[in-house]
Amino acid sequence: MVLIEKEWLSLGHKFTDRCGHLARDLKETSPVFSQFIDCTWQVLQQFPAAFQFNERFLLTIHDHVFSCQYGTFIGNCEKDRIDLRLPDRTYSLWGYMLHNMSDYVNPLYKRNGRYDTMLKPNTGPPNIRFWRGMYNRFDSGVHPRESVLDVLCVAKDQSSSLEDHLQLLNKRLGAMKALLGQNSVTSCDSLTDSAVLSDVESDARCRNAASVPASNNKLLQSTEAVVRGNAANSESPSDCESGIDVKSLRISQCSLEEKRSAELRAGELEMEANSVAVEWKTLRNVHNCSCLTQFEYFSRKYHCWKCGDVFCTRCIDKHTALPGHYSQRPVPVCRNCYKEVKCNV
Instruction: Dump pLDDT digits (tens) for 44-75.
Output: 999 988 899 999 999 999 999 999 899 999 98
Q: Which helix (H) or strand (E) holds 226?
A: helix 217-234
- Return the SS3 of 137: coil
Low-confidence ranges of the chain (pLDDT < 50): 195-197, 200, 206, 209-220, 223, 226-227, 230-242, 244, 246, 249
CB 72 within 8 A of CB 54: no
- Return the SS3 of 310: strand
**CA Rg value for the chain:** 38
- The pLDDT score that the predictor gives to residue 192 is 53
- The pLDDT score that the predictor gives to residue 322 is 92
Q: Whose CA is closest to 175, among 163, 187, 183? A: 183
Count of C-beta atoms within a 10 Å radius of residue 108: 15
CB 294 within 8 A of CB 324: no
Judge if pTM exceeds 0.75.
no
- The pLDDT score that the predictor gives to residue 202 is 54
- The pLDDT score that the predictor gives to residue 36 is 95
Distances (CA, A) of 230 to 58, 224, 225, 246, 283: 95, 10, 9, 19, 82
Q: Whose CA is closest to 280, among 107, 154, 156? A: 154
Which residues are within 8 A (CB) of 228 and not within 5 positions of it... i.e. 6 or more apart? none
Distances (CA, A) of 292 to 139, 283, 301, 312: 20, 16, 13, 10
Cα 243–chain centre separation: 58
CB 305 within 8 A of CB 333: yes
- Return the SS3 of 65: helix
Which residues are within 8 A (CB) of 280 and not within 5 positions of it... i.e. 6 or more apart? 154, 158, 303, 308
Cα 190–chain centre separation: 45
Q: Where are the beta strands (DSSP E) in the chain?
A: 302-303, 310-311, 318-320, 331-333
Count of C-beta atoms within a 10 Å radius of residue 253: 10
CB 105 within 8 A of CB 54: yes
CB 81 within 8 A of CB 71: yes
